[in-house]
Amino acid sequence: MSKDLQDIIKSKFREKKLFNTRLKIDGLELLSMIESQSIDLCFFDPQYRGVLDKMKYGNEGERQRGRANLMQMSEENIIHFLQEIARVLKLSKYLMLWIDKFHLCEGIHQWLKNTNLQIVDLITWDKQKMGMGYRTRRQSEYLLILQKKPLKAKGTWERKNIRDIWSEKIPSDSIKIHPHTKPKGLQSALIESCTKVGEVVLDPASGSFSVLECCRELNRHFIGSNL
């Protein structure tokens, strides 16, 4: 491990192999090993039932049943994750936070109450495939872009061609592997825009580890885990 990477990890954990691999430890445990203000970019896809729990519906499709079988996070747990992510991010760096339609409408400000993270933008992912729905059929997911204060765009966001509606279809084989699979093209574009070669990207709830695959292709270092 290079000295720069060593400095990201608290001293008592530096013998562990944590970078550029598929860790199987609790995400909060991983975050506790990371020094403050050391991470260049973070992706976070909370595992929650969201609208399904809130609305108490039951007629779920195959992908929704797959999501329900995953370990679910309580709202308190998500808040703890966000507080830790805010701690480890460098100043003015970004968190890419996936949310569902319910939280888009209801808001997540309670989650951010004790952090220095602020919502600065939103990307709608058009999955190009119609899903299930109780009234309208779901075809989109939502990526909130949050920045750690102080807020600034210059020097923190390089690509000017990322649209706020991103169309990308996930291969059906990938969905079968993990129901939370996210678009690699979008993730790669954001990594290129917000980091430089050799910098570190964090994903403490990695799911299919698609962010790791993007980092390998783009010569970024990855640290992340999934249970």
**Extents of the domains making up the chain:** 3-224
- 203: Cβ contacts below 8 Å, ≥ 6 apart: 42, 43, 44, 45, 209, 211, 212, 222, 223, 224
| pLDDT, tens digit only, all 227 positions of the chain | 677 899 999 999 998 999 999 999 999 999 999 999 999 999 999 987 554 454 444 444 554 554 555 567 889 999 999 999 999 999 999 999 999 888 899 899 999 999 999 999 999 999 998 888 778 888 899 999 999 999 999 999 999 999 999 999 998 776 656 677 899 999 999 999 999 999 999 999 999 999 999 999 999 999 999 97
Question: 132, 74 in Cβ contact below 8 A?
Answer: no
SS3 content of the chain, % helix, strand, coil (to 5): 30, 25, 45
Predicted pLDDT at 57: 47
Q: Does domain 3-224 bear CATH number 3.40.50.150?
A: yes
Q: Amino acid identity of 90?
A: K
Angle in degrees, 0-180, between the axes of helices 210-218 and 184-194, rounded to the nearest 10: 50
Backbone angles phi, psi at 136, to 5 degrees: -85, 155
Predicted pLDDT at 184: 96
Predicted pLDDT at 71: 62
User: pTM for the whole thing?
Assistant: 0.89
Predicted pLDDT at 51: 47
Element (H, E) at 205: none
